[in-house]
């Protein structure tokens, strides 16, 4: 029985039938494997391209913040009244520098540098044309002759030494010989005259360029920096795939990174092996199925072959079977019973089908094309629907949930066989809408119609629905990019407002980088906050808004730069006035899904709140400068009192400990404790030189209750013990 069950394996017809299935299954596995590997490789490379494009953009934005810091510093120097007095004294009036004015100027430069809050800044250099000294944030440097050269172009950007930039290569000073990232511009004594009166250089640590590159980009071959088409510097080997990005602040500045091609070669991917494993299992299942089907269809022929035995002659197996059948039909005795075995197969037409290759093809067609046609709409477009409430009555999260339910209901009603509309909730105020259609031209009109239908169904003017719509796509692999395009398109609400439909093409068509912003913004805001002049602050914001709306047609990304600059100016102005220490105000940066009107109203409210809090803190007859001077006078008069402390002074003047500490650093250049100790030791020095009091008496008279503390502080400041100093 076992021999008969395996006899079909010896049949050439069975082998050919089974091998035909194996060839089809092998082709299927090869094509399936190729598609899996190709798709995985394409996705991997696409992600890598996107990754490095995002990295070079992030790196460029990081360096742009340095340039903005440098611009603010140069603007502050040009608008500084102290620096202007220094220039007038030594150049215009040709007089010697007043020592007080000199130290006041250095303090001004140091304050400007500290207010930048940029730890990458190495130094600031200011040179007056026609004068033989260079001023920095910490000292002054004597030049061999009067400074006469000016920058070859301004603004100036280069990596090198200040000596090379200024034409002073032989100057033996660290400031002039340290290689740095240099951003320079002209100094103007009078901005209205347009006459260049000197040079201002802002020097950044060179290593910050490489550190940012390493931290942000990670793996790379090399990097080059170009300004006005000229190569400024390079790191590593400029070989491999090139990714570049121009600065948003200065389009002449271009950053390029070079990445090895090996970084785009896909390594071990678990998903690929899982896919190939699944394909192999399916193929094995198909092989087993093919064996069963082949055996089933060969069974009638096997039965016929056994009927027409004995041994067949060599030759074509099918011809031998046909010949045997003819022999059986020609004999009349003893074979009629055997023909009964053949007749069922003959009646079914199966034998004829096998011999002619038509083996019930309808049974082999497992999947019908009609099962997939409805899921293969060629075109799709993605929108993000933003929900906003502008009413005066408070609402809860459930109200937003109701609006989301309405949007989903409208999408379900408008979805048809030809155009499907799907909804996916992003968060409680945003939904992704996907429209899938066979007609590309219908997609844009579908979103307009859908937007109007949603507004009509909501029937509440306090709720505003804004759409950002991507480009039309026909490749599902670009689903993620389409979502990003939709969010970029939604950014157009910055200038266009809410309750509208914005398309991605329109959001990038006029991507200009120019916008209006006052050069002396920090000074103006700081002064108006100090004076609690809310009217001038409103005029300042109105000036920015009106000029940008009337004269500039800026894209959303450019408006973001303007808003960032306004945020930085506000923070710096608050620091100048110590507002963070005297008020309980907190300023948050408005990130996304807002209009420009909402942003400016936010800063209107911020300025008004600050002015009101400052008005409550400081009486009209006592401003912050007077308060600071009163605190300093009190410390000068009472430093010998052993009970004096930060808490005591803060309680006496109604300010915080932190306020006093920052006031001492900003006005005296040292900490509170250091100032008190220096005053006490200076007084003790005088007593040691002019009196015969004992050391214990002098310590007590100087404000020390502990002799050990007195000795330690005296030695720390004077470099010797008080007893040695008296001798």
CATH of the domain at 628: 1.10.10.60
**In this predicted model, what pLDDT tens digit does every residue of 225-235 receive, in sequence order?**
888 888 877 77
Q: Which residue has the tokens 């140069």?
A: 74
Q: Which residue has the tokens 């006469």?
A: 148
Q: What is the pTM of this model?
A: 0.38
Does a structural domain hold residue 413?
yes
User: Is the pLDDT higher at 416 or at 678?
Assistant: 678
User: Residue 725: is its pLDDT beyond 60?
Assistant: yes
User: Residue 606: is its pLDDT beyond 60?
Assistant: yes
Three-state DSSP at 628 gives helix
For residue 152, what pLDDT is reported? Answer: 74
Q: Tell me phi and psi for residue 374, to 5 degrees.
A: -70, -20
Contact 105, 83 (CB under 8 A): yes
Three-state DSSP at 46 gives helix
Q: Tell me phi and psi for residue 341, to 5 degrees.
A: -70, -30
Closest CA to 385 of 421, 339, 418: 421
**In this predicted model, what pLDDT tens digit does every residue of 381-401 receive, in sequence order?**
899 999 988 888 888 888 889
Tell me, rounded to whole angstroms, the distance of Cα 662 from its chain centroid: 33
Closest CA to 677 of 652, 702, 706: 702
User: Residue 263: is its pLDDT beyond 80?
Assistant: no
Contact 447, 383 (CB under 8 A): yes
Q: What is the C-alpha to C-alpha distance for residues 617 and 623, in angstroms, rounded to an integer?
A: 9
Domain shared by 316 and 257, yes or no: no
Does a structural domain hold residue 284?
yes
For residue 584, what pLDDT is reported? Answer: 54
Does a structural domain hold residue 542?
yes
Domain shared by 209 and 318, yes or no: no
User: Residue 557: is its pLDDT beyond 60?
Assistant: yes
Name the DSSP class of 511. -
In terms of Cβ atoms closer than 10 Å to its own Cβ (0-12, 13-18, 19+), residue 411 is buried
Closest CA to 351 of 409, 381, 312, 307: 307
Domain shared by 77 and 140, yes or no: yes
Closest CA to 681 of 647, 704, 655, 650: 704
Strand bridging mode 419-427 / 241-246: unpaired
Does a structural domain hold residue 515?
no
The number of domains in the chain is 5
In which band, very low, low, confident or very high, does the pLDDT at 618 lie, cut at 50, 70 and 90?
low
Q: Tell me phi and psi for residue 230, to 5 degrees.
A: -100, 140
Domain shared by 142 and 222, yes or no: yes
182: how many CB neighbours lie within 10 A of its CB?
23
Closest CA to 11 of 288, 356, 354: 354
User: Residue 194: is its pLDDT beyond 80?
Assistant: no
Q: What is the C-alpha to C-alpha distance for residues 545 and 25, in angstroms, rounded to an integer?
A: 68
Average pLDDT over residues 114-142: 85
Lowest mean pLDDT across 171-180, 241-250, 357-366 = 357-366
Residue 77's domain is classified under what CATH number?
3.30.450.20
Average pLDDT over residues 523-550: 85
Does a structural domain hold residue 514?
no
**In this predicted model, what pLDDT tens digit does every residue of 435-472 receive, in sequence order?**
888 877 778 888 889 999 999 998 888 899 999 898 88
Does a structural domain hold residue 513?
no
Contact 620, 631 (CB under 8 A): no
Average pLDDT over residues 62-81: 87
Domain shared by 545 and 646, yes or no: no
| CA-angle at 698, arms to 696 and 700, nearest 5° | 70
Q: What is the C-alpha to C-alpha distance for residues 10 and 5, in angstroms, rounded to an integer?
A: 11
Does a structural domain hold residue 15?
yes
Domain shared by 337 and 406, yes or no: no
Domain that holds residue 461: 373-508
Residue 451's domain is classified under what CATH number?
3.30.70.270
Domain end point (choices 329, 364, 399):
364
Domain end point (choices 261, 283, 300):
261
Q: Output Rg (C-alpha) for the chain, integer angstroms.
A: 42
In which band, very low, low, confident or very high, does the pLDDT at 407 lie, cut at 50, 70 and 90?
very high
Domain shared by 334 and 257, yes or no: no
User: Residue 702: is its pLDDT beyond 70?
Assistant: yes
Average pLDDT over residues 268-275: 79
Contact 592, 491 (CB under 8 A): yes
Contact 472, 381 (CB under 8 A): yes
User: Residue 126: is its pLDDT beyond 80?
Assistant: yes
Domain shared by 139 and 251, yes or no: yes
For residue 453, what pLDDT is reported? Answer: 92
Domain shared by 58 and 169, yes or no: yes
Domain shared by 346 and 238, yes or no: no
Domain end point (choices 204, 227, 261):
261
CA separation (Å) from 481 to 488, 507, 560? 10, 15, 21
DSSP 339-356: HHHHHHHHHHTHHHHHHH
Query: What region, left, alpha or beta, does residue 500 occupy, with left being phi > 0 and alpha being psi -120 to 50 degrees?
Result: beta
Q: Which residue has the tokens 């809408």?
A: 433
Domain shared by 175 and 77, yes or no: yes
For residue 98, what pLDDT is reported? Answer: 84
Closest CA to 587 of 571, 576, 598: 571
User: Residue 180: is its pLDDT beyond 90?
Assistant: no
Contact 381, 439 (CB under 8 A): no
Domain shared by 101 and 235, yes or no: yes
Does a structural domain hold residue 471?
yes
Average pLDDT over residues 215-222: 77
């Amino acid at each position: 029985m076992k021999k008969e069950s395996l006899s079909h394996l010896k049949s050439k017809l069975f082998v050919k039938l089974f091998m035909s299935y194996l060839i089809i299954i092998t082709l299927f596995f090869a094509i399936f494997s190729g598609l899996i590997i190709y798709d995985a490789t394409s996705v991997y490379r696409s992600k890598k391209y996107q990754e490095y494009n995002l990295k070079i953009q992030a790196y460029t934005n990081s360096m742009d913040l340095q340039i903005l810091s440098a611009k603010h510093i140069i603007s502050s120097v040009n608008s500084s009244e102290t620096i202007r007095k220094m220039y007038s004294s030594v150049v215009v009036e040709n007089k010697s520098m007043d020592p007080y004015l000199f130290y006041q100027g250095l303090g001004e430069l140091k304050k400007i540098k500290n207010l930048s809050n940029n730890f990458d800044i190495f130094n600031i250099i200011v040179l007056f044309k026609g004068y033989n000294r260079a001023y920095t944030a910490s000292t002054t440097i004597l030049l061999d002759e009067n400074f006469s050269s000016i920058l070859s172009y301004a603004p100036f950007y280069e990596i090198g030494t200040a000596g090379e930039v200024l034409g002073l290569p032989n100057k033996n000073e660290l400031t002039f010989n340290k290689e740095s990232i240099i951003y320079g511009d002209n100094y103007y004594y009078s901005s209205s005259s347009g006459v260049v009166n000197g040079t201002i250089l802002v020097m950044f640590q060179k290593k910050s360029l490489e550190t940012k590159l390493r931290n942000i980009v990670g793996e790379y071959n090399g990097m080059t920096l170009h300004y006005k088409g000229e190569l400024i510097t390079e790191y590593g080997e400029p070989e491999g795939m090139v990714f570049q990005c121009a600065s948003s602040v200065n389009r002449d500045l271009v950053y390029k990174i070079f990445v090895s091609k090996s970084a785009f070669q896909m390594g071990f991917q678990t998903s690929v092996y899982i896919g190939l494993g699944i394909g192999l299992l399916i193929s094995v299942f198909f092989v087993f199925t093919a064996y069963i089907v082949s055996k089933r269809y060969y069974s009638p022929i096997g039965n016929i072959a056994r009927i027409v035995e004995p041994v067949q002659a060599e030759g074509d197996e099918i011809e031998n079977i046909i010949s045997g059948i003819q022999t059986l039909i020609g004999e009349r005795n003893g074979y009629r019973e055997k023909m009964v075995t053949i007749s069922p197969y003959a009646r079914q037409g199966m034998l004829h089908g096998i011999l002619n290759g038509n083996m019930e093809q309808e049974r082999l067609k497992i999947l019908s094309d009609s099962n997939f046609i409805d899921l293969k709409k060629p075109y799709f477009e993605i929108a993000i629907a933003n929900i906003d409430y502008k009413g005066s009555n408070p609402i809860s999260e459930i109200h937003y949930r109701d609006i989301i339910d309405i949007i989903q209901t409208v999408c379900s009603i408008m979805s048809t066989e030809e155009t499907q509309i799907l909804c996916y909730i992003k968060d409680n105020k945003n939904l992704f809408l996907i429209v899938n259609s066979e007609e590309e031209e219908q997609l844009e009109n579908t979103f307009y119609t859908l937007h109007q239908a949603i507004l009509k169904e909501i029937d509440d003017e306090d709720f505003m629905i804004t759409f950002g719509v991507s480009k039309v796509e026909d490749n599902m692999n670009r689903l993620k990019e389409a979502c990003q395009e939709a969010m970029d398109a939604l950014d157009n609400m910055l200038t266009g407002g809410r309750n509208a439909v914005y398309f991605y093409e329109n959001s990038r068509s006029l991507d200009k980088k120019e916008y209006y912003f006052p050069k002396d913004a920090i000074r103006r805001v700081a002064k108006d906050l100090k004076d609690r002049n809310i009217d001038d602050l409103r005029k300042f914001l109105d000036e920015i808004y009106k000029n940008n709306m009337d004269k500039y047609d800026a894209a959303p990304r450019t408006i973001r730069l303007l808003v960032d600059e306004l945020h930085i100016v506000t923070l710096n102005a608050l620091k100048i006035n110590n507002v963070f220490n005297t008020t309980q105000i907190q300023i948050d940066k408005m990130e996304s899904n807002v209009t420009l009107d909402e942003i400016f109203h936010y800063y209107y409210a911020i300025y008004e709140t600050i002015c009101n809090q400052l008005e409550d803190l400081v009486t009209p007859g006592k401003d912050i400068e007077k308060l600071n001077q009163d605190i300093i006078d009190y410390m000068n008069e009472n430093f010998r009192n052993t009970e004096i402390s930060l808490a005591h002074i803060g309680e006496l003047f109604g300010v915080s400990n932190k306020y006093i500490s920052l006031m001492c650093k900003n006005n005296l250049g040292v900490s509170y404790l250091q100032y008190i100790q220096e005053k006490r030791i200076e007084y003790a020095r005088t007593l040691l030189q002019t009196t015969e009091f004992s050391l214990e008496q002098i310590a007590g008279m100087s404000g020390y209750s502990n002799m050990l503390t007195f000795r330690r502080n005296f030695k720390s400041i004077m470099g010797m013990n008080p007893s040695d100093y008296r001798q």
